[in-house]
Structure formats: structure tokens, C-alpha cells
Structure 1
Amino acid sequence: MGRAEERRARQSAGRRAAPRRHPQSQAAGSPAGSGSQAGGRAPKAAKGRIRRLFTWRKMLGAFFGLCLLVIGGFAALYMSVDIPVGNDLAKKQSNVYKYSDGTLLARAGTVNRENVDLSKVPKKVQLTFVAAENKSFYSDPGVDIRGTTRALLNTLAGKGKQGGSTITQQYVKNYYLDQEQTASRKLKELVISLKVEREKSKDEILAGYINTSYYGRGAYGIQAAAQAYYRKDAQDLTVEQGAYLAALLQAPSQYDWAVAGPVGKRLVTDRWNYVLDNMVKEGWLDKAERRTMKFPYPKDPKGAPGMEGQTGYLVSLANAQVEQQLMKTEGLSRSEAAAKVEGQGWTITLNISRKKQAALEKAVKTQLTERLSPKRRKVDADVQAGAVSVDPKTGKIVALYGGKDYFSHWTDNATRRDYQPASTFKPVILAAALEQNATTQDGDAINAGTVYDGTSGRQAVDHGVKVGFGPPNEDDANYGPITVQQAMDKSVNSVFAQMGVDVGMDQVMATAKQLGMDTAGMQAVPAQTLGSMGASPLEMAGIYATLDNHGRKVTPSIVKSAEQPDRTVRMPDPIGGSVISRTAADTVTSVLTGVVDDGTARQSVANNPLRAGQQVAGKTGTSDCNRSAWFTGYTPDLVTSVGLFGEAAKAGGTGCDNEPIKQYAHVSLKGAMGGGRVNGGGTPAQIWAAYTFGVTDRATFDLNTDQGAAVATTPPPTVSDSPSDSPSESASSEPPTSAPPSETVTETPPTGPATQTPTTPPPPSQPTTTPPPTGGPTIRNPFEPGDQ
């Protein structure tokens, strides 16, 4: 054996002779008294194993391994996804719209698109789109990793679309992909965007973006949009006009000035300012030039064949409701939803009844438009009408009147929310009182028989403290002690102002929201008891339909079905759960029958020869300065809200607030049709009666209540000079011969002493002093053309 082998043998023998003992073996052989020491070593050994398992080297290795896996996966995805052929807009088809019985209503939505070379678009106009959507466009890699990751996670979590995209990503989505909101589509969008950035210049991408985006009015691309909104070619657009078109892309249907409501006009104005201010910050626009720029109001849309008359209003609302459902179910933005509906080959069947639609149009014609003569009376040109009719059991919109013609008045009067509903809001106050079991200042339960002080201008009080609100009644009429039923019949402002304080205005507005009113941004103040907020005939029809449906929520729907060749969109059920108790809803209905039989609607509705014994509930309303007049009424099977609105056809003169009148401003209806004041119990109620009594059969309310005019005899008035049985709610120019119903919401303090004296003293808790009222706010559209 050599020396080397011998040495290795000795070393091997030494290792075998001294084996390493396990700690547990040592513990087992240790003497008594050492157990605690040995037992304390086991946890340390376990911790040692955990430390050896999760060393920083292993964790770092796992992290880098995961990164390599992600990079490898993305590389594989990048290699497997090619830039597809652009989608073919020529394949888009017209939409077909049908009545509820399946007969054709309209065919609309042909694609309007014309590409234009970027060199034909002024440079500063190009920059408006960059400033609006992606300020870093010229320097970024074409993708927003953070925004895309956030959108991807939200999609996987079912939260819909959130986060922004670059211009490149939006171009890829418009031209190469579709609007589908899935994780795979978002990953494809990311990969294709990176490849497009490598193959195309920034100018080519920007040109593709502005030529494929949807601008509303059926216009795809900047050239079609320039013609649709400004009647000019893209090369002739100003910076201001370009900024408006760039602002439109966020929500084209909502931001179109011709049809936008006050909120839409405010939002698009803010967006327009945002675009130009960004251009200044980026050094693309001179600050002094920016200060001279004024908002470029677009021209009215050109009429598409087949959209004249009421058809355009019906189609627009149907599109809007389908778009809203797509936004909700597929997480689309407004612009994406609009692009996915218009001109996409939909067959949309409406809930509109041909018979009822024709009857509503005829009623407006015979009771209103045939009586208007703008050549003889300037005010007649300012009269606008809107109406919505709903089946309360199904929530279907069966008829709608949006204006005299879709081509001449693009704003839909049936859905506009910029006029006061006035006294048609009073049933909501009573509903809140009944639902909350509210009491008066004396602790008495509020119901149809509760007595209030009907003194005009009486200050409302809250536990002995005046709240600073004391509205006068119409024509400053005093009613003295009066029941809630009588106060509703005669629309006594002072009673409902106090009732609102008794119930609590926060509770009143909460009930309004539950019944279907959009209360966003509304203050819960006593002035709202006079209906001084904005509301649409569509909203009021939904609120009253909920009352008619015994408290079950009705959200009026115009769409019966929406189908494409390969799919069907499921529309939400218009009938929801109970939002107020049946007893509260039925009691309000019972009380409102008194308005028809004994109050402000008696002349036009109760005494109408077409009534034939039909049971009716409803409420009139006439707003401050006579700018709007309403009647919302219902039978057991049909609810219809009719509104007349004063809208200046031309600029000129001054309004009742002594302000210069601009075109489209809210103006008084007084003197229209050759009469005096236009009240809710006049023309609106006449339209309602002519329509309703022609399409409904006699039916009786099924009420679960022992209160109100429908189930109990109305007590006689307690004032010395009772209101006339024929209230001054008609469009008559003759002065009233007795105290008229207190219908109008007014801000004018009463003049002179009270003309009526109660035969009995008022309740002790109701002060009888009549300090000057503060009145309620007037809703004015702050974004009429010409305003900044």
C-alpha cells in the first residue's frame, strides 16, 4: 500500500470512529434534570430548518425565476401574436327599430366615414387630440404598462374597465380589435401596440387614431366629424373646434351640445378647457392666444332620413338605454358603448305602442300646437312640450313626445331635466311623511286628515325656530286651518313647506331618490318642497308609476329587446322591489284623486266629457315665473306625465328676473295661446285627458288604505271664502273671482294684507304671522349658448 493510500485510509477510519451525534440522541441519553435544556433545543432546530428553506439566496432565486417565467411567457405571446388586418367598417350595418308589435319604426345608423391624410389636418388641431388623450404620445413607447395592468386586474376581478390607454392602444383597439372587455383582448392590445410602434411612425398612428375614432352623430373619423358638427372639412377646422372634437371622444352622445343636458354641457365645456390648458402647458399654444378663445358651439345635426317627427326621439332614447346596459354589463366607456350600438346591425324592438303613440301625438296637436300662432304671438314660439306614458305594471314606456320635430328641436323634452317640476313634487313629501310615520310639531301623526295652517307666506318652523322659509301661495291666497287632503287639492305651498320641515328634508329627498328621482347634487333644503329642483317628464312618470304600482319601484324602459345576429342583450327588469310600503303609496294615490275631483285638475280632467267615470289620480304643477307647467296623472293601468316648457326661440328682451334673454333660455309661458298664465291644470291636463281617456278602459284603483279622497268624503273647507269649484288652473286670461288654488312656485313676496280670515283660530303650534317669504331657488340652465 502506498503512502497516499495509507493516509486516506487513516482519515477515513478517523471519520468513522467519531460519528456526529444527533441532538435528540444526546437528549435521550442525558441524565435526569437536563430535560428542560434538551427540550429547549428542538424549536431552535425547527427554526433552523425554516431559515435554511427560506434563505435570501433562495428567495432571490425564486423572484428571478418568476421574472424569467413572465418574460418568457410574454416573449412567447409576442412571437405568436401578429398585427391583424384592420377591421372592416364597411361590414357595419344599419340598425332596425320596431314598434312593440314588430312593425317597422325606422332603419338608421349607416356608417359615415372618410379618411383624411394627416397633412390635411392643421398641426395645432392634431395636437388637441394629443393634449386630450396622451400628452406623452411623442415620447412614450406606445403602451401604458401601469394602466393596462390595472385594467387587466380589474377585468379579471369583474370590476369592468378602469384606467387609461395611450393613443396607440386606442388606435389598435379601434382599427385592429373590437370593444370586447376580456383579459386576452387586453393582452393582445398590449402586444399589437408594441409592434405597431415599431412598424409605424407617430404621425401614421395619430392619423389612424383620428380617422377611426367615433365622434357621435354617426361620424367615424375627423373628416366626417368636421362636417357633422361644423359643416366644414377637417383642413378648415380652428383650434377651438378641434379641441371640441377631441373632447367629444370621451363621451360623444353625452357631450353633443345639441342634445346634451346641463350636466353634459358643463362636462364638455370643462373638457374643452382642459384640452386647451394642456396645450399651453406643453408649449403648443400661446397663453395670450388661449385667453382669447371662446367655446365653438357646433351646428345642429343634419337630419337622417326616417328620423323626422317623433322617431328620432324614440330611437335616441332606445340607443341610450342599450348603451347604458352595455356599460353596466361589459364595462365599456360611454364612447365605446355608443360606437358599439350605432350602425352595428342591431334589431331593437321598442315597448312603444303604435296606437298609444299616435294618440299622444294627436292629443298634443289638438290641445296645443293647433292653438299656437308664433306669427301673431311671439311667446307661442317659445312653447315646448314633452310627455312620457308608462304602463305601471310592466314599466314599459308605451308612448313618448319629445318635441315638435326631431330635426328642428334636437333636445328631447321628454328626458330633459332642466325645468322645475314645481307642485308635482308635493306627493313625494306626503309619501315621505307616511313612510316615516312623521308627526307635526305638536306630535300629531301626519295623514290625509291632519290640519295645517294654510296662511300664505307663513314661516315654517322647526321646534319653535323659524327656518327662514315662508313661501306665498298662488295669488297670495290664505286658507287658514286646512287638512292635508284639501292642501293637496288646492296645492297650498305654505302647508307643504311646513310638512317638509316636520318630516325632515333629508328624509324627503331620500324618499324622492327611492321613488326614482336623480337627487345627485341636490340640497335637502326647505325650498325643495316647492319642486325647485330639475326633473324630466320621464322621471316624474317613473315616480308616479311607482305610487300607482303600490310602492314597487318602476324604472321606465323603452327597450323590449336588443339583438344582433350572434347575440342578445338582456335588458334590466323595469319592475323592482318595494321602495315604500303599499299603504303609504296607496294613501298618496287616494289623496291625489281629490286633486282631480275637487282641486286644480277638476276643470280639465274631472269634468272632461271623455272621462266616462274613469278613476284618476294626479297632480298639477306651475313653476316660478310660469316657466313650466305640468300635469302628471294616472289611472290604474297608465301613468302619463305632461310638461310645457318656456324656451326662448330667439334672443332678445328681458325675462321676469330682468335678465337679458338669450336663445334657449328659460322664459315665461304667460300669454301663450292667447290666454294668461299657463297652469298645470290647463293645457297640460287637457293634453293628458285627450290622450288618456282615448286609450284606457274604465278601471278602479285597488287601494290598501282608509285615508284620502278615494275612500273617504273630503271635509268641507274651513275658510270663510272657499276656493271656486273651477280653479284658475286653465289657460284663461280672466282674473279669478275667488281665491284660486295655491299652485305656482313663486319668489314674489305677497303685497297688501291677507284677504281671507279663518273662521276658527289656527292650531296653537302653527304661528299665524306672515313675514315676507324667502322663496325657493330658480333652476336655470347655466350653460345656454353664449354663456361661459
Structure 2
Amino acid sequence: LLAQTQNKSTRILDRNGRMLFEIYVDRQYNPVALTSVPKYMVDATLAVEDSSFYGHIGIRPFSMLRAAKATLVDDTLQGGSTITQQLVKNVLLSPERTFGRKLKEIVLALMVERTYTKDKILELYLNNIAYGGTAWGVQSAAQKYFGKDISQIDLAEAGLLAGLPSAPSVYSPFMDKEVAKQRQKIVLDRMTELGFITKEQSDEAFARELVFVLQTEYIRAPHFVNHVQNELIDLYGKRMVYFGGLTIKTTLDLDIQEKVQTIVTDEVEKSGPALNISNGATAVLDAKSGGILAYVGSKDYFSQKDGNFDVLTASRQPGSSIKPVTYALALASGRTPATVIEDSPVSYSAYGQTYSPVNYDGKFHGKVTLRQALANSYNVPAVKLLRSLGVEKMVELGTKMGLTTWQFDNTFGLSVTLGGKEVRPLDLVNVYATLARGGEYAPVAGILSVTDANGFEIYEADGKRAQVVDGGVAYLISHILSDNNARAAAFGYNSELVVPGYTVAVKTGTTDAKRDNWTLGYTPSYVVGVWVGNNDNTPMNPSLASGLSGAAPIWNKIMRSVLDGKQNEPFVIPSTVFVKVDKECQNASEVFLNGTAPKNLCAIKKDDKSERR
């Protein structure tokens, strides 16, 4: 057991083999004697991880029985591990979650208890548990988060550190300070409950503002590196990732990443003060593979003000950028781009409340085609469509297209089509990637290969793909979203949604009170999604104009940069779609799925300006 404390560093590379980050094990692993660890840190760890540590034999049979029962009843593997079991699991065993591995863990835990004293086991545990990033053990954790030797840690700091090991990426103060404080409160409350500290000590420690060390370690594409590390830990376990001497080749293109990061930072700093925008995030995907080419979780990872917070994996409301899901469902249900929808006042009642949707411009536009409704992002037609289609069906389709956090329940209402339900920004970008692939879902990928210390390839990519949207329907959505004439009524002909010389499908979104602003667009090869707003959810300036300011200029610059030097790539018309040209109606044209076109287009053609009110 003592020989298993440290091995080789792990390297994370971009797709071309350039270094993004190296986990320097020797520098980050600093074991200390238990006598050097403050009593507060020991008590906090025992309180939250294993309060009966000094009284059991290495396992807790009743806790294990409860976990086994949950496994049998719910078909989910659960824990029940002691500190001794966690030590064995992290140092001696592979990460798979099976009953065979659990049995080995139990046997080894009993052997460890017979071999070492309780104090020695606790010392080994404190030196061999992951506290987030490259911090392995309490000494490295104290230095990483507070710039202190572990012996100098006080109660408030101990409460935070002790809460990290169960989920370092979730509870890290560099990811979300509020979540970290909530976790600290749980630890302090548990210490109070067990009599380690008084209620007054707990309250005083919780009230104290913690000062963290600015993270300046050498790292490129830091949010992406963290994203990949978390994925690797899920696959191989913390010890393998941090000490296994792995070489990870990722999907990231460092050239694209650095250009995109510069654009986001410069644009937010330039226009942010006037629009009350303090942050921005973007993801660029290879549409065909789902691979991440650029990943910017915030405008400045190293900023002391929430820079480490990764917006791409946070929960944000998508606004109208979610509408393509509704319209894909509508087109799959028999509607066409020429279907006429009445954009007029309407009210719905549910749970004793009345819901009356309004448009972004505060006007109603009379009879509009489905093409006009989606292209101009009119709210009322989208709500009317969803009412006839069914909210649950939209949620089901959104989930299939990539929204991993959606699960239908009674909190989903008609406003979901206007962005009333939160999504992960990275998931939303993948929804658009699904459309770019002609309706085929593929998981977002950050890893190309993983090679172990002996040079063997050990990674098997998730090749799960599924046709979740009909190819013809996906083409119709792309055709509408790339139609600059159709959206001119709302956005004009020269908006930031136009990339001269290129066919690009694009959609904007802005939430109520302007707390989130989005622009997402794609070609058959590239997907770019941009979000701007404030981490604390404060509103942006009311003068922000979707498609003109906020996310759109950033999106435009990024898309131009990505497409620079490349040929225009129009969307390929599938065999299930045809173009109808009506010579008797001034050569009016529209695209339809086979068998859905009306006899003539004059019946649905109208002067949009004359009917607007």
C-alpha cells in the first residue's frame, strides 16, 4: 500500500499533439504526517466521510447492506464505503463499479485494518485522496486553494477542503463559489451535530469570507482541460488519471481555440460595459464527428471574479434558440414551411394561471408562414404550434437531439418553446450539430485517444449515433435558418447573422429580462454557439438587440474565422425533399417533403408588410 503513493505524470494534448496541460505528480503530491494536519481538518474529514472510523473494522456491514438493497431494488450501484475502503479503492483497485470489485475492496480493507493502525490509515487516506485538479492529498489541496501549509488551515478552510473529495469538480470554489459554500455548510453542520465544534464556531466559520489563491498554473484551454479530466475520471478513476502516466490526445484544435478565446475576451471587454455584459462563452464543434474544436467556458479563466466558472456546463435558459426543436417536431408532424399560422393574441389557462405569449417586438403579424415564423423568431406562432403538438413530445425530441438535463414533468409548460427551461449550453450547441448532420445525433466528444504508460491504446470512443430527426426535416430547418430574406422583417438584410459568401444556418435567443443572449449557427462541417450574460443572472442592458449586439457579433467573428479560406458548403438536398416552383404565382418557390406540397403557392403568399399590425 505504501508503495502505491505516486507514479507518472499525465499529459493532455490537442489534436495535433501540442501540450495543453501536464499533471506534474511530483510537484503536486506532498505527503505529510498526520501530526501536521490540524485537528479541525481531521474532524471535518471524519464528520463528512466516516464518523465511526475509529470504531469499525474497516467496513460497516449495515451501511453495505443498505447499499446492496438499493442496488437490488433500484438497479443502481451505491456506496456505503468507509475511509479504509475509499483508500483501498483509490490506491489499489481499478475504477469499474462491479460486485466483484466491491468484494475485493472489502477483503483488502479488512487486511489493511489488520496491517496498519487507525492513525496510519487516516494519514494514508488524507495523503492519497483527490481534492480537485492536480491537488492530491491535503497538503497539495491547502497550497492549491489557500496558498498555505496544511498546518495553517483554520476551521472555515478545513470545512471547505473536507467537502471536496466526494465530488471535486462539483464542489470546487473555482467552479462555483456558491455551491462550494453550500457544501462547506453541510460539513460544518455535521461537525456540530457530532460535537466536534459548537454552533457558534460553525456559524462564525461559515460567515467568514474565504480568500483563494489565483490559479496561474501553465495550462492552455483550461475549461476544456477540466472538462476532459472529469470525463477521464469517470472512465478510469482519479488515481489512474493523475498518476497513470497517460497521454490523452483530444479533439481540440489549439489554433482555433486561441483565436476564439481572443475574440470572446476582446468583444466582451469592448461592448460589455455598455450592455452590462460581464461574461461570454462559446463552443465550436466539428459537425460531422461531434468533436470539440474550441471550448471557452468564460472570457478569462484566470480572473479572480468567477473566472474558473464554466458556463458551458452550467444551466442557462436558451430563449428562442430552442425553437428549432419545436419546428422540427412540427415539420415531422405534417406541417410544411408554407403552413400558415395566425400570429394573433391568444391566452391559455393552466393550474389557475393565464398564459398570454407576446412577440419580441410587442406586435402581432397576422397570417404568417411557418418559414416566416421561425426565421423571424415570432413567439406566438411557436406557442400555438406547441399547443397542438404536445409539450411532452417536444421534450422527448429535445432529449434525443442532445439535451441531457431535460426530463419531462409537470414543470414543463408551453413556455418551454420560448426557452423557459434551462439547458446546458454545450448540450444546446449539440442540438444544432444534430441538425447540421442531417438529423443524426452524436455525443459531444473531447477525446480522440488515450495511451497508457506502456504505450497501449486503452480508450474506446462512444460511437453511439442515432437518426433522431428525419433527414428531410433537418434540411428544411437548415434551409429556413439560412434564409436571409425570410428573416429580414425582424433582423434586416445586413445583420450579424450574415456571413458573406457562405451558407450558414443561424438562430438567436434572448431570455426574459435579458439575462441570457445567444447566437448559434452551423454549416455542414462546423457548429458555433455563443452565449453572453452575467454569472450572477443579473439582467443585461435593455438596449441589447438580438441579432445585432450581444452574442451575434461574437458569433459572426468566430464563424468567419473558422470558415476563412474554406469553400462555401451548401446544405445537400436529400432525396425526400423537392423544390416547388409555381410559375402561375410569379415563380414563387418553396421546399417540401415529398407528398406535402399544396397545389399552388399563391394561396399562401401574402404581403407581409400590409398585414402586419
Q: 2:595 — aligned with what?
A: none
Of residues 686, 692, 716 in structure 1, which corresponds to 2:556? Answer: 686
Deviations 1:415-473 (A, max 9, x none): 133332211111111112233x2xxxxxxx53322222223x532479xx997222221
Task: Provide the rounded CA distance (Å) in 2 between the counterparts of 1:679 and 1:706.
Answer: 36
Task: Provide the rounded CA distance (Å) in 2 between the counterparts of 1:467 and 1:591.
Answer: 34
Query: Does the 8 Å contact 2:317/2:423 carry over to 1?
Result: yes
Please tell me the residue identity of whatever aligns with 1:323: I
Q: 1:471 — aligned with what?
A: 357
Q: State, as a whole percentage, how many aligned pairs show the same letter.
A: 26
Q: 1:135 to 1:592 in 2, by over 3 A?
A: same
Deviation at 1:252, TM superposition (A): 0.9
Query: Does the 8 Å contact 2:127/2:137 carry over to 1?
Result: yes
Residue 139 of structure 2 corresponds to residue 238 of structure 1: no
Q: 1:234 to 1:396 in 2, by over 3 A?
A: same
Task: Provide the rounded CA distance (Å) in 2 between the counterparts of 1:185 and 1:393.
Answer: 38
Residue 22 of structure 2 corresponds to residue 122 of structure 1: no
Task: Provide the rounded CA distance (Å) in 1 between the counterparts of 2:19 and 2:170.
Answer: 27
Task: Provide the rounded CA distance (Å) in 2 between the counterparts of 1:470 and 1:389.
Answer: 36
Query: Does the 8 Å contact 1:448/1:707 carry over to 2?
Result: no
**Larger displacement relative to structure 2 (529-538 or 280-289):** 280-289
Q: How many residues align?
A: 584
Q: 1:453 to 1:293 in 2, by over 3 A?
A: farther
Q: 1:237 to 1:105 in 2, by over 3 A?
A: closer
Task: Provide the rounded CA distance (Å) in 1 between the counterparts of 2:399 and 2:543.
Answer: 35
Please tell me the residue identity of whatever aligns with 2:45: F
Query: Does the 8 Å contact 1:601/1:685 carry over to 2?
Result: no
Deviation at 1:544, TM superposition (A): 0.8
Q: Secondary structure at the match of 1:341?
A: helix
Q: 1:356 — aligned with what?
A: 256
Matches within 5 A, 1:267-666: 271-291=183-203, 293-294=205-206, 299-300=211-212, 302-308=214-220, 311-326=221-236, 337-361=237-261, 363-364=263-264, 368-369=267-268, 371-372=270-271, 377=273, 382-408=277-303, 410-411=307-308, 413=310, 415-435=312-332, 437=333, 445-455=334-344, 458-460=346-348, 468-520=354-406, 523-566=411-454, 567-573=456-462, 576-594=465-483, 598-599=487-488, 600=491, 602-605=493-496, 607-608=498-499, 611-612=500-501, 614-647=502-535, 664-666=536-538
Deviation at 1:533, TM superposition (A): 2.4
Query: Does the 8 Å contact 1:449/1:485 carry over to 2?
Result: yes
**Larger displacement relative to structure 2 (234-243 or 492-501):** 234-243
Query: Does the 8 Å contact 1:351/1:396 carry over to 2?
Result: yes
Task: Provide the rounded CA distance (Å) in 2 between the counterparts of 1:118 and 1:490.
Answer: 65
Please tell me the residue identity of whatever aligns with 1:501: R
Q: 1:34 — aligned with what?
A: none
Please tell me the residue identity of whatever aligns with 2:482: T
Query: Does the 8 Å contact 1:432/1:508 carry over to 2?
Result: yes
Deviations 1:315-335 (A, max 9, x none): 222222323334xxxxxxxxx
Query: Does the 8 Å contact 1:671/1:678 carry over to 2?
Result: no
Q: 1:225 — aligned with what?
A: 141
Please tell me the residue identity of whatever aligns with 2:286: D
Q: 1:689 to 1:565 in 2, by over 3 A?
A: closer
Q: 1:276 to 1:88 in 2, by over 3 A?
A: closer
TM-score (norm. length: structure 2): 0.84
Deviations 1:473-497 (A, max 9, x none): 1231221121111111211111112
Deviation at 1:207, TM superposition (A): 2.4
Please tell me the residue identity of whatever aligns with 1:603: N
Q: Secondary structure at the match of 2:122?
A: helix
Residue 61 of structure 2 corresponds to residue 162 of structure 1: no
Q: 2:3 — aligned with what?
A: 86
Deviation at 1:688, TM superposition (A): 4.2
Query: Does the 8 Å contact 2:510/2:546 carry over to 1?
Result: no
Unmatched runs of 5 consecutive residues or more in structure 1: 1-83, 327-336, 438-444, 648-663, 723-755, 758-788
Q: 2:16 — aligned with what?
A: 101
Q: Which structure is larger by alpha-carbon Rg, 1 or 2?
A: 1
Of residues 668, 671, 678 in structure 1, which corresponds to 2:540? Answer: 668
**Larger displacement relative to structure 2 (109-118 or 550-559):** 109-118
**Larger displacement relative to structure 2 (539-548 or 165-174):** 165-174
Deviation at 1:527, TM superposition (A): 1.7
Query: Does the 8 Å contact 1:459/1:467 carry over to 2?
Result: no
Task: Provide the rounded CA distance (Å) in 2 between the counterparts of 1:564 and 1:222.
Answer: 27
Task: Provide the rounded CA distance (Å) in 2 between the counterparts of 1:574 and 1:98.
Answer: 21
Deviation at 1:699, TM superposition (A): 1.5
Deviation at 1:209, TM superposition (A): 1.7
Deviation at 1:391, TM superposition (A): 2.0
Q: 2:596 — aligned with what?
A: none
Deviation at 1:643, TM superposition (A): 1.7
Q: 2:597 — aligned with what?
A: none
Please tell me the residue identity of whatever aligns with 1:117: A
Task: Provide the rounded CA distance (Å) in 2 between the counterparts of 1:153 and 1:471.
Answer: 48
Q: 1:565 to 1:553 in 2, by over 3 A?
A: same
Please tell me the residue identity of whatever aligns with 1:452: I
Q: Secondary structure at the match of 1:218?
A: coil
Q: Secondary structure at the match of 1:224?
A: helix
Query: Does the 8 Å contact 1:101/1:353 carry over to 2?
Result: yes
Deviation at 1:253, TM superposition (A): 1.6
Task: Provide the rounded CA distance (Å) in 2 between the counterparts of 1:458 and 1:500.
Answer: 13
Please tell me the residue identity of whatever aligns with 2:539: V
Please tell me the residue identity of whatever aligns with 2:519: F
Q: 1:193 — aligned with what?
A: 109
Please tell me the residue identity of whatever aligns with 1:423: S
Please tell me the residue identity of whatever aligns with 2:327: L
Q: Secondary structure at the match of 1:410?
A: coil
Q: 1:707 to 1:129 in 2, by over 3 A?
A: farther
Query: Does the 8 Å contact 2:338/2:590 carry over to 1?
Result: no
Deviation at 1:639, TM superposition (A): 1.4
C-alpha RMSD of the superposition: 3.7
Q: 1:206 to 1:297 in 2, by over 3 A?
A: farther
TM-score (norm. length: structure 1): 0.66
Q: 1:323 to 1:603 in 2, by over 3 A?
A: farther
Deviation at 1:635, TM superposition (A): 1.3
Task: Provide the rounded CA distance (Å) in 2 between the counterparts of 1:572 and 1:676.
Answer: 38
Deviation at 1:379, TM superposition (A): 5.3
**Larger displacement relative to structure 2 (387-396 or 146-155):** 146-155
Q: Secondary structure at the match of 1:235?
A: helix
Q: 1:554 to 1:532 in 2, by over 3 A?
A: same
Please tell me the residue identity of whatever aligns with 2:416: Q
Query: Does the 8 Å contact 2:508/2:546 carry over to 1?
Result: no
Deviations 1:87-117 (A, max 9, x none): 141x231x22222233444434434122333
Deviation at 1:679, TM superposition (A): 4.3
Deviation at 1:235, TM superposition (A): 3.0
Q: Secondary structure at the match of 1:686?
A: helix
Deviations 1:716-757 (A, max 9, x none): 6544458xxxxxxxxxxxxxxxxxxxxxxxxxxxxxxxxx53
Q: 2:585 — aligned with what?
A: none
Q: 1:131 — aligned with what?
A: 47
Matches within 5 A, 1:140-155: 140-145=56-61
Deviation at 1:349, TM superposition (A): 0.9
Query: Does the 8 Å contact 1:349/1:562 carry over to 2?
Result: yes
Deviation at 1:191, TM superposition (A): 4.0
Task: Provide the rounded CA distance (Å) in 2 between the counterparts of 1:319 and 1:489.
Answer: 39
